[in-house]
Structure 1
Amino acid sequence: MTAHPAPTRSRLPFWACVPLACLLMFAPYLGAAPVALIEPFLPKNPSQEVSSAVNILVSCLILAAALLIFGWVARRTLGRRLAEIGLRISRDAWWLFGLGWLLSSVALVGSQLLVGGLDLPHRQFQDVEGAGLAGSALAMVVLMKVFQAVAMQGIPEELLWRGWLMHCLAARPRAALAVSALTFGAMHWISRGGQQGPGEQFVYCLQAAGFAFLAGALALRLKSLWCAIGVHAGLHLTNLALAFTPLLYDGPTVWALQAALYTALGLALLAAWKGSRVEYTR
């Protein structure tokens, strides 16, 4: 007979966990500090291949730091290992990641098609890294973007927000999801993604909150953090793929549509969910 762990209960009040999550979001970036040790040995004007390789190393160091820091925090606050808050390696991990990526793509591509098909107000996305490159330089940029999407952003941020923070309020999963998504979205007020003025900044935050909501809803429904990682990393990976297509619409209309599509998908997933706890077993 399989023994199940006792229900997760945070040793910190949830109101304290939320600001702690905001601080912890930046902590893994300290892991990239060792890169400064190799900078004196790099050429003054490194090639695209060398620059991309350094950025791949940075992504790996940030992931390693996140696993160490969040693992320690999970043990101290929840008495749980990382596997017990969602970061478990299983045979299902790959397709669950892929499903999250697919749903993220639906929202991203859908918004692009709506803007183009209905001729809605938009800007053309200009900052396409890798434009004009070919051969090994382009291949290294694509590889760098994949590492950044998965190792630097997808795994660390979902482990923190949909893994650790939601387990801090495990007995109230819907409230945990709402707080996690809204706080994560609010944190994007300091992000710079082409926003012009506070109104656009607000819509940009809604887009981040929308994909965070879908990530959490899918994780709850399928009991896997890998779904959430797929949604998050899939946003960046799909945008990378779209950079090689004519679908390069940008601006607040696009972000608002993405937020609406992400939220609608999340609500549809939660509509028939009868669960009563945050519990990731796959």
Structure 2
Amino acid sequence: MATQPRTAASSQSQPPQPRRRPPGWARVVLALVAFAAAGSSPLLADIIPPLRDALASDDLVPVLSARTVLSLIPLVFYLLFTAVLTRCADHRPLRAAGLTLNRRAASAFLAGTGLAVLITVCLAVVFYALGIGGAPGLKRPDLTAGGAPVWLVLVFILSRCYVLQGTGEEALMRGYLLQSLSDRPGRAVWISTLAFTSLHLISQGGQQNVADHVFYLATPFGFALAAAYLSLVMRSVWAGVGIHGGLHLGNAIVQMVGLEASGPIVWIVTGVVFSGVGLVIASRISKQRWAEIAAHGPYSPPIDR
């Protein structure tokens, strides 16, 4: 009888065993499947009569309004999948995905946006000066010709840049996948970047043939690499959101002033420049920071030394 309490006490003193996660390759596959599912979710507009009718309108105002609302659908799915995978596949709190809203998040978001817009606009000016990259395959609607109010056009553009794509895609790829593999952070950066890039094989950005679809991958690869490294440096996935959305915002600005360019040279050069910026950012990450990421994840608060 005397041994029973000691046995119970000793079992209680043992630390709980951590719950096993799926292997790394399975977590990558889960992220890719979730990304594809969320990216396809705007098709749900076909079964929502008000959205379906507004999108079919000849009036630009309801069309822009419906598209703005429609951009919320994939965002909800991206964030939902990020939360489910972080909690259920990784058994980690949602804050591990780096989506916390605080002063650091605001600084990271503005830094990423400013950097991406600056790169995109400067490259557009260079391409225009050199006569590179006319965009015959792109047919963009003129948002200013249909009588839509300026505020609605601006809201639509920002929703396309940050709500439809930037926030949700970064939450899943740089929020979930990057932190999920962060026990080996250098490898995690490249896996998350390549996984994200591979999904753009079916993107439609002016490609004319199979080779164009391959060359087009240079741009998402480059800005994804920069987004990952800046997120690690600034301890917030909002830096990646800024890079991602800032690229689209820069492209929108370039389009509005008539400097839009496309084609293999443009995609490759853009990818190389963003990749170079990402590698420069990576060179500023100390060995201590890499070790901290491996031990505590990329988005943990700074450790007091």
- TM-score category (smaller protein): 0.7 to 0.9
Greater mean alpha carbon deviation, residues 15-24 or residues 102-111? 102-111
Deviations 1:254-274 (A, max 9, x none): 111110110010000011212
The answer to whether structure 1 residue 216 and structure 2 residue 216 are counterparts is: no
Q: Distance in 1 between matches of 2:118 and 2:250?
A: 10
Shift of residue 10 of structure 1? 7.2
- Match of 2:92? 80
> 2:116 pairs with 104, 110, 120, which one?
104
Secondary structure of the residue that 1:279 maps to in structure 2? Answer: coil
Shift of residue 49 of structure 1? 1.1
> 1:12 pairs with 18, 22, 37, which one?
22
- Match of 1:54? 66
- Match of 2:238? 226
Shift of residue 235 of structure 1? 1.1
- Match of 1:188? 200
Shift of residue 210 of structure 1? 0.6
Alignment of 1:134-145 (within 5 A): 135-137=147-149, 139-145=151-157
Shift of residue 144 of structure 1? 1.7
Q: Distance in 1 between matches of 2:83 and 2:59?
A: 36
Deviations 1:35-54 (A, max 9, x none): 62334883663521111111
Q: Distance in 1 between matches of 2:204 and 2:135?
A: 16
Shift of residue 164 of structure 1? 0.6
Shift of residue 116 of structure 1? 2.4
- Match of 1:5? none
- TM-score of the superposition, structure 1-length normalised? 0.88
Deviations 1:175-204 (A, max 9, x none): 111111112112111111101222221111
The answer to whether structure 1 residue 113 and structure 2 residue 125 are counterparts is: yes
Greater mean alpha carbon deviation, residues 257-266 or residues 31-40? 31-40
- Match of 2:299? 280
Secondary structure of the residue that 2:96 maps to in structure 1? Answer: helix
Q: What is the letter of the counterpart of residue 104 of structure 2?
A: D
Q: Distance in 1 between matches of 2:215 and 2:80?
A: 34
- Match of 2:7? none
Task: Return closer, same or farther for 1:127/1:172 CA change in 2, 3 Å cut-off.
Answer: same
Secondary structure of the residue that 1:108 maps to in structure 2? Answer: helix
Q: Distance in 2 between matches of 1:181 and 1:40?
A: 34
Unpaired runs of at least 5, structure 2: 1-17
Q: Report if aligned partners of 1:32, 1:58 keep a CA contact under 8 Å in 2.
A: no
The answer to whether structure 1 residue 27 and structure 2 residue 46 are counterparts is: no
Q: Report if aligned partners of 1:14, 1:169 keep a CA contact under 8 Å in 2.
A: yes
Q: Report if aligned partners of 1:154, 1:233 keep a CA contact under 8 Å in 2.
A: yes
- Match of 1:36? 47
Secondary structure of the residue that 2:167 maps to in structure 1? Answer: helix
- Match of 2:9? none
Unpaired runs of at least 5, structure 1: 1-7
Q: What is the letter of the counterpart of residue 24 of structure 2?
A: F
Greater mean alpha carbon deviation, residues 66-75 or residues 22-31? 22-31
Q: Distance in 2 between matches of 1:127 and 1:40?
A: 23
Q: What is the letter of the counterpart of residue 165 of structure 2?
A: Q
Q: What is the letter of the counterpart of residue 102 of structure 2?
A: S
| Number of matched pairs | 274
The answer to whether structure 1 residue 238 and structure 2 residue 238 are counterparts is: no
Secondary structure of the residue that 1:124 maps to in structure 2? Answer: coil
> 1:152 pairs with 149, 164, 175, which one?
164
Q: Distance in 2 between matches of 1:149 and 1:10?
A: 37
Q: Report if aligned partners of 1:10, 1:168 keep a CA contact under 8 Å in 2.
A: no
Q: Report if aligned partners of 1:85, 1:280 keep a CA contact under 8 Å in 2.
A: yes
Task: Return closer, same or farther for 1:40/1:224 CA change in 2, 3 Å cut-off.
Answer: closer
Shift of residue 15 of structure 1? 1.1
Q: Distance in 1 between matches of 2:204 and 2:96?
A: 34
Deviations 1:122-178 (A, max 9, x none): 223652333552653554333222112211211110011111111121111111111
